[in-house]
Structure 1
Amino acid sequence: MAKSIKSGRILLAEDNKITQKFMGALLSKWGHQVTIVDDGNGVLDEISRNAFDILILDYQMPEMDGLSTYKLLKEGRFPNIENMQIIFLTGETSATVINDLKKSGVKYFLRKPIQKDVLFSTLSELLNIGVAQNSRINTTSTQYLKKITDTNPQLMREVIDIFIEEAPKFLFKMKTFCLLEDWESLRTLIHKIKANFAYVGMEEQKELLRKLEHDLEQMTDKETYLSRVIHLEKITQKAIVSLEKRKKNL
């Protein structure tokens, strides 16, 4: 396990007393300020009064479940949540549940029972997202795209548009495969899409995918796969902004 992570204010919404005890102890041990509630009503009450860096939200809870709580939070009545990251906990891995999460805009989810190394690496990435985004600019280059398209501006714009449309879908699939622990499908998808990042000049992203594919082949560092996909997603979102600017100048 990694040595340390930035501490944060974490709200844990979980009705299982054993899970509360286990996760509360872990989060406190890692230096976080932890508040625990039993259901969605408790979440809304806490968030109306306090700010948190991360909300860990169980999918199934009494009174008000996780998805209903999430939808209420996204209605915009809670100014404290602007910079808060939300992680869903779920033991449900059916296509219906995953589709519901996707349609609702849920970005991050962890499988129950929780694996502490996966939780640790995921929190590490999410707590440092703001720092990483403010400290670096993710740039792109269209040099390779110009070469393979013979500097055809219309074709270049079409390739860029396809990438911008498809990349978020592929990244969500990657997180889904992490939830399902379907490592073979994750490896296959990475092998399929890594060239797309090279086409649009995202060399850092391509290298991250190459290393992740290698680790998947060797089945090493499994606890880091999800956090690495989250990191890839964040730097890709920033790079897409740069890519869209370059497209306008073609």
Structure 2
Amino acid sequence: TRPWRILLAEDSPVNQKLACRLLEKRGHSVTVAPDGLAAIAAWESQSFDAILMDVQMPKLDGFQTTAAIRDREKTTGHHIPIIAMTAHAMSGDRERCLEAGMDDYLSKPIDANRLFETLQRLIPDCPAPLDRAAALAQVGDDPALLAELAGMILNDLPIMTAAIATAIQTGNAHDLDRAAHKLKGSLAILNATRAVTLAQQLETAGRENNLTHAPALLQELEAALAELTPALRTLQNSISPAAAT
């Protein structure tokens, strides 16, 4: 299993230490958010594989925090696994969590085996950089059009990425907002979910004039685009000129 990046939304120092120790011992990285607002801010500024969400937290509880994240995901098409954690293992809790948009439910105290089984099931081991079937549906099941768009995006990627990098280097939040929005729109056509999510986070950073995490996000975006590029080339070359006419 590749190392996971986990966001732990939990206000109890004891539970924070337990979850962090369990995950870090297996080589995974954990970012702790002590309340719902901090969890949303962390999710917007960094890339995670899953969220462990305490149900009872100050400022925003787990249900409100999940609702806010799911609402914002509507613009990206991305879905991050959210696992509820609660000390009140009562009948109907799991159903309430699932109805709220969470993907699963763990009762406290955390059981290590159950924790890792749940994360393993919900986190893709090696997510594809793009979803070809979804991308094809997006363009009306027209393979030739998809191949052409893949080629256009391949040509534009260096320019769009450079515009984002320049905006970050010069501290120009407005230009970052615009450049990241443009990249996000192009990548969304291909259902390149990880790259789209990172572009969305950079767009948010620009719109909110908060570039603190932008350099780190750009590094992650460049890594995601490096994975995406071979898939784009495959798409571009998947239709012969004869078939495209």
TM-score by length of 1: 0.47
